[in-house]
Structure 1
Amino acid sequence: MHPATPRPWNPWNPWNPWTKTGRRGMLAAMTAVLTALVVSATAVAHEAHEDARQPRQQPRAAKGPVWTGAWGTAMQRPVEGSEDWGPNWSRQGFADQSVRQVVRVATGGSRLRIRLSHSYGTTPLRITAATVGRSAGDAQVWPGTARRLTFGDRQGTTIAPGRDVVSDAAALSTSPLEKLTVTLYFADRTGPATFHRFTTATSYRASGRHLADSGGGAFKESTNAWYLLSGVEVSGAASPRRGTVVAFGDSLIDGTGATPGADDRFTDKLAERLVAARRPLSVVNAGIGGNRILNGSSCYGDKATDRFRRDVLDRPGVRSVIIHLGANDIGAPEMDDPCMGAAPHVTARRIIDAHKELIRAAHARGVRAVGATILPMKGALFPVYSEQGEKVRTAVNRWIRTSGAYDAVLDVDRALANPADAALPRPGYVFRDGLHPNEAAFHAIASAVDLGVL
C-alpha cells in the first residue's frame, strides 16, 4: 500500500507545509506558542507566589447598589445595669415605647439602610415602625429630614430569634461624620433586647409612638447603650473602590476612656483622618469592653473567635480589620469580677493561636488583617497587672510585630508606652483608671495607622 497523496493546499496559505512561506509560518507559530507557554508558566508561578503572600481577593460582586458600613456596633446579651456601666433597658425590653438612638456615620451616600439584630432573642421580635433623620442635637431631629423606613415594602417587620434584618433603602443623602437619629417604635412587648452595653453616645426613650417628632420633649429617659441597632449602611458614593475598615477588639476599641458625646474614640479619630485624606474608606467599631479572645462571658460578649464572622466578616464591603485582643485574657486572673466568668491563666501560645485563627478567617474572605499590639497594662488602678502577665503580653506583642502573620501592624504599645518604663503608659496618655487611653492617646493611636495598608 502506498501512503495517501496529500491533499494539495493553497500555496498562498501561510500554514501550507509544502511551501517556504508555509514552513516559515509554521515555525513562527510554534515559536509563538512556546513563548506563550513560558510566559504563562512564569505568570502562574508569580501569581502563586503572590497568593501565598496576600489574602485571596473576593469575587466580583453582582451588579446593584454597593453598600458600605457607615456606622456599626457589636451586639451583646441583655444584662442588668451596674454602677460601673450605668443603667440600661436590655433586660426589661420595650412595650408601646419609642427608642431614639443617635449615631455618627463615618462616610456619606445618597441612600441608606439600617441593620437590626435579634442575635440573643428567644422569641420573635416585632418592630412596629422605624424612621431615620438628621440629628439636631440630643433627641431632636432636623425638621423635614425624617424618613420612614420599610422592610420588604412594609412599615414593620418581625425578626426571628438569633437573626438580623436589613431595612429597605431610604432616600436620605448623608455626609461624612454627620450624626443621624434612628427611631424604633415597639407597640408590643419585646422581651429582653439584644444591645451594646457601653457607648459614649446617648439613647432616648419615650412612651407611645413618636417616630416623626422633630422635638425631643417626649423622650424623657436616656441611657448610654444602643438597642437592636447594629449597623447603618450607605450606597451611592462616587468612588467604586469604597470599602469598610472594621476595628475589632476590647475596651480600647470600644472607647473606654473617651469623653461621652465627644466622638473622640480611636475609631472616630481614624475616620476623621480618612475623610481629611479623601480616602474612600469608612470605619466601623466592633469593640466590646471586657472582651477576650479565648473566653466569653455574659457581660463582656462572646469570645472574639466566635463573634468574628458576625461582627466583622458579614458586614458589607469590608476590606480590612484592625484587631486588638489579649489584654483581658492576660488580666482576667487578677480581676475580682464575677461578671468575667471563667478566668484561667493563659499562655502566649494560646493567645497567638487564637490570633492566627482570626487571620485565617479574614484572609479566607479576602480581608486584610492588621494586628494591634496590646497596650501597656502596668499602673492600672484596679487589679489587672502581674509580672507573669507582663511576660505573656511582651511575647504576644513580639509575635505581632515580627512574625509576618498579620498583613500590617498597628503598634499601640509603642504609641502609648512611657519612655522611662515601657510597661507603663506615657504620662498624659492615660484615663483616670490608669489603664485606658484618654483623648490624647486615642489621637496618638489613630495617628500611628498607616492609611495605605487599609
Structure 2
Amino acid sequence: MRHGKRFLALLLGIFTAAGLLAGPGTAGARPESTSAPDWSGTWSASVMRAGGGLVPNWSLEGFENQTVRQVVRVSHGGAAVRIRLSNVYGHAPLTVTGATIARSAGGAAVRPDSLRHVTFGRSPSVVIPAGAEVASDLAPLRVEQLGSVTVTVYFAEPTGPATFHADARATSYRAAGDHRADHDGNAFSDTTRSWYYLSGVEVAGVPAPRDAVVAFGNSITGGTASTPDANNRYPDELAERLAAGGRPRPVLNAGISGNRVITDCVGEKALTRFARDALDQPRVGTVIVLQGINDIGFSEIEDFPCSPNPEVTSAELIAGHRELIHRARARGIEVIGATLLPYKGAFYYSERGERVRDELNRWIRTSGEYDAVVDLDRHLAAPADQDRLDPAYDSGDHLHPSDAGYHAMAEAVAPLVACPRPLDAAALTR
C-alpha cells in the first residue's frame, strides 16, 4: 500500500508541475513553462516541409477526415508522457481534432488498457498556427525504457501539405474516418514509411538533469538502409547499449536524409535547424555532430537532388562545424564531433570529394575544437582500403551502413556518452 501511495503522490506532483491541475496549457514555437525541468525528451524526429522525393509519402496531399497512427520506440522511461506536434512548415493553421497515445501491441494495434486520450490545454482538440509547434498536456501513461508507444491523430478538417519526416524507417498507418480510439488495427489499411506532424515524445519523472543525448546528422544518423521497423538506427542502438551497460540516457534522433551543413537541400541546412532540432530539446546535455558528406557528394552532381549544388571546400565545412560548436557551447552543451564515414564507390563519390572528406576529418581529429571526437571513419573503414566502408558494415550502396554497421557506430560512440559530463550551475538553470 505504501508503494501505491508513493506512486500516486509522484503522479499528483507531475500533474501539478505540468499545469494540468492549475490551468490550460499554451501553444508556441517550442512551449516552455515552469514544468520544463520535469520533462525529458525520449524520442524525436526532425521535421521538414512536404515533398514527394526520397520515399513515397502522403505529405503533399495531407489529410481530411482521416486518422494517422504512428509507432515509435522511446529511449527512456518515465511516469507520464506528452507529445509534441509540429506545423513548422504549414502554410495555414492546423486543426488537430483529437489524439490518443497507448502502448503498442504490434503493427497498428494497441494495448486496450493503456489507451489514453491526449488533451491540449484540457481540450481534446487544438489549432496549431502555421510555423508553430505545440506540446500536449500530460497523459498519465507510464512509459517503459525502450518500449514502443503508438500515437494516433485524427484530422477532421483538411490539413493541406503536412510537416513531416520523410525517411522514418518505420511503418505509419492511415484510416478513413475517426479511429483514434481503436484497439485493433483493422481500419488502418494504408501504410507509409514516414512520420507526420509528430516531432517528439517526452516523459516526466526522470530524475537526472540535462542528460539527454542528441544525434544530429543526415541519413546515416536517420538510419537509411537499416531494417524497417527494427529500430536499428545508430541512435537506437546507442540507447540500447547505454541501457545494457547500466547507464541509460535519453537518446534523440535529429537526422534528416539528404541534409547538408551549409546549403539547404532536403530539410533546412544544419546551420538553420541546429537550435530547434538539437539545442532546444528538453534537458539536452550532449550533441553528437555527424554532418558534411552530402555537402561534399551533392556538389559533384548537377541538379540532384536540388539546386544549386555549389562546390564545397573543407574550409567552408570547417567554418560550419565551428559555428555549430560555438552555438552548443554557448548553451552549456557538450558537443562531440564524429568523423565522416568512408564512401568510396557511392553514387556521388569523387576523388576531389575524397580529398575534402580527408581534410575535414583531419581537422575534426586534431583541432581540439570539439569536446570529444569519435573516429567513425577509422572504426568502419575496410582493412584493405581505408576509403571504403568495411564490407561487414556496408549496406550495399557504399555510403550507408548496414544494421551491423549502425551497431558498430553505437559501440564506438557509447564510451563517450556513458556518463553526462558535469555542467556549471548557470547552464543547469536554462
Match of 1:218 among 163, 169, 187: 187
Q: How does 1:121-132 map to 2 (within 5 A)?
A: 121-132=90-101
Q: 1:339 to 1:96 in 2, by over 3 A?
A: same
Question: Residue in 2 aligned with 1:348?
Answer: 314
Indicate if the aligned counterparts of 2:63 and 2:158 stay in contact, CA closer than 8 A. yes
Matched, 1:269 2:226: no
Question: Residue in 2 aligned with 1:7?
Answer: none
Offset of residue 294 of structure 1: 0.9
1:168-191 Cα shifts (integer Å, max 9, x gaps) = 011100111110000000110111
Query: Counterparts of 2:304 and 2:294 in 1: how far apart (Å)?
Result: 14
Match of 1:391 among 355, 360, 364: 355
**What SS does structure 2 have at the residue aligned with 1:281?**
coil
Question: Residue in 1 aligned with 2:325?
Answer: 359
Match of 1:317 among 271, 283, 297: 283
Of residues 64-73 and 282-291 in structure 1, the stretch that sits farther from structure 2 once superposed is 64-73
Question: Residue in 2 aligned with 1:408?
Answer: 372
What amino acid does structure 1 have at the position aligned with 2:123?
Answer: R
Indicate if the aligned counterparts of 1:65 and 1:235 stay in contact, CA closer than 8 A. no
Query: Counterparts of 2:37 and 2:321 in 1: how far apart (Å)?
Result: 33
Percent identical among aligned pairs is 51
Q: 1:271 to 1:374 in 2, by over 3 A?
A: same
1:35-72 Cα shifts (integer Å, max 9, x gaps) = xxxxxxxxxxxxxxxxxxxxxxxxxx967751111000
Q: How does 1:6-405 map to 2 (within 5 A)?
A: 66-80=38-52, 82=53, 85-237=54-206, 239-241=207-209, 243-297=211-265, 300-335=266-301, 338-380=304-346, 382=347, 384-405=348-369
Query: Counterparts of 2:299 and 2:319 in 1: how far apart (Å)?
Result: 20
Query: Counterparts of 2:345 and 2:90 in 1: how far apart (Å)?
Result: 39
Indicate if the aligned counterparts of 1:126 and 1:186 stay in contact, CA closer than 8 A. yes
Of residues 371-380 and 239-248 in structure 1, the stretch that sits farther from structure 2 once superposed is 239-248
Query: Counterparts of 1:259 and 1:279 in 2: how far apart (Å)?
Result: 26
TM-score where L is the length of structure 2: 0.87
What amino acid does structure 2 have at the position aligned with 1:182?
Answer: V
Indicate if the aligned counterparts of 2:210 and 2:284 stay in contact, CA closer than 8 A. no
Q: 1:338 to 1:421 in 2, by over 3 A?
A: closer
Give the number of aligned pairs: 386
Indicate if the aligned counterparts of 2:224 and 2:400 stay in contact, CA closer than 8 A. yes
What amino acid does structure 2 have at the position aligned with 1:409?
Answer: V
Query: Counterparts of 1:336 and 1:95 in 2: how far apart (Å)?
Result: 38
Give ranges in structure 2 of 5+ residues lacking alignment.
1-32, 421-430
Indicate if the aligned counterparts of 1:74 and 1:286 stay in contact, CA closer than 8 A. yes
Query: Counterparts of 1:86 and 1:309 in 2: how far apart (Å)?
Result: 26
Offset of residue 336 of structure 1: 5.4
Query: Counterparts of 1:65 and 1:109 in 2: how far apart (Å)?
Result: 14
Offset of residue 98 of structure 1: 0.6
1:206-226 Cα shifts (integer Å, max 9, x gaps) = 011111100000001010000
Offset of residue 243 of structure 1: 2.2
Q: 1:294 to 1:63 in 2, by over 3 A?
A: closer
Question: Residue in 1 aligned with 2:30?
Answer: none
- RMSD, matched Cα: 1.4
Q: 1:314 to 1:145 in 2, by over 3 A?
A: same
TM-score where L is the length of structure 1: 0.83
1:121-154 Cα shifts (integer Å, max 9, x gaps) = 1111100111000000000001121101110111
Matched, 1:425 2:394: no
1:282-331 Cα shifts (integer Å, max 9, x gaps) = 1010000110001012xx11000000011011110000000111101111
Give ranges in structure 1 of 5+ residues lacking alignment.
1-60
Offset of residue 337 of structure 1: 5.1
**What SS does structure 2 have at the residue aligned with 1:334?**
coil
**What SS does structure 2 have at the residue aligned with 1:339?**
coil
**What SS does structure 2 have at the residue aligned with 1:180?**
strand
